[in-house]
């Protein structure tokens, strides 16, 4: 008998994940808050640094693991998730090191921590744009052939395909002109047609005479 997804869930694993996540969130939030305070971000504003990192990491991980977004969005979400995890680990380690050795945050650390919120904002906006962008089809539709308007002559109302595939039958006037030995250019000028039509008319007349 098939089991539903609800019956197949491992509740022990789910509860364990929830407990570990809550503990990690409290410890990470506290340490990153202290790091933000160490670089001059004071009061409740210091909490916004860990919020931006952890929330961005959670959203990026969800987009990555669900795999329902476009391929470029999933790839960016995976990179963003690992970047948030790495940044959180480095931030925690740096804050504990400064606290253990009673160090003042150097200016590169101040710059990096201060750059975290705008960087996370930009990353989240970009991820949102990628996830909402419609998937482009790789199928290329061939364009219809262009019609040469100049080839549509008044001599054949059926259009250029009839002119190109059939030899025009010479008219009485054309027969007289061709019999006199007129060239294709003069014949085209006399009849008001194109030179290649005149050439085919001459060829058709000569073929008829030869037959």
DSSP assignment of 119-171, as one string?
HHHHHHHHHHHHHHSPPPP---PPPPPPP-GGG--TT-TT-HHHHHHSPPPP-
Judged by DSSP in three states, 205 sits in helix
Q: Report the chain's terminal Cα–Cα distance, integer Å.
A: 87
Residue 53 near residue 120 (C-beta atoms within 8 A): yes
> pLDDT at position 134, please?
72
> pLDDT at position 152, please?
45
Predicted model pTM = 0.59
> pLDDT at position 210, please?
64
Residue with tokens 């160090």: 103
> pLDDT at position 167, please?
47
> pLDDT at position 188, please?
81
Residue 188 CB neighbours (<10 A): 18
> pLDDT at position 6, please?
56
Q: Which two tokens stand for residue 142?
A: 């061939």
Q: Which two tokens stand for residue 152?
A: 């549509």
Fill in the DSSP letter of residue 45.
G
Separation between Cα atoms, residue 180 and residue 45, nearest integer Å: 101
> pLDDT at position 171, please?
58
User: Residue 83 — φ and ψ, nearest 5°?
Assistant: -65, -40
> pLDDT at position 160, please?
45
User: What is the mean pLDDT, run by run of 10 residues, along the chain of 211 residues?
Assistant: 59 91 89 95 93 95 94 96 96 95 94 96 96 62 48 48 47 76 81 82 77 59
């Amino acid at each position: 008998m098939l089991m539903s997804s609800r019956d197949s869930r491992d509740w022990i694993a789910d509860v364990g994940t929830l407990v570990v996540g809550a503990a990690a969130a409290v410890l990470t939030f506290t340490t990153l808050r202290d790091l933000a305070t160490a670089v001059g971000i004071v009061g409740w504003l210091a909490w916004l640094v860990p919020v931006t990192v952890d929330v961005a990491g959670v959203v990026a991980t969800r987009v990555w693991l669900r795999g329902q977004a476009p391929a470029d969005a999933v790839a960016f979400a995976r990179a963003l998730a690992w970047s948030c995890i790495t940044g959180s680990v480095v931030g925690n380690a740096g804050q504990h090191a400064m606290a253990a050795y009673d160090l003042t945050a150097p200016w590169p650390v101040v710059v990096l921590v201060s750059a975290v919120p705008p960087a996370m904002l930009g990353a989240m906006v970009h991820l949102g744009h990628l996830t909402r962008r419609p998937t482009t089809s790789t199928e290329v539709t061939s364009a219809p052939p262009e019609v040469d308007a100049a080839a549509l002559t008044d001599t054949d109302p059926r259009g250029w395909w009839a002119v190109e595939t059939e030899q025009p039958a010479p008219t009485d006037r054309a027969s007289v002109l061709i019999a006199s030995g007129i060239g294709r250019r003069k014949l085209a000028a006399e009849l008001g047609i194109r030179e290649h039509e005149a050439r085919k008319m001459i060829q058709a007349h000569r073929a008829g005479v030869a037959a």
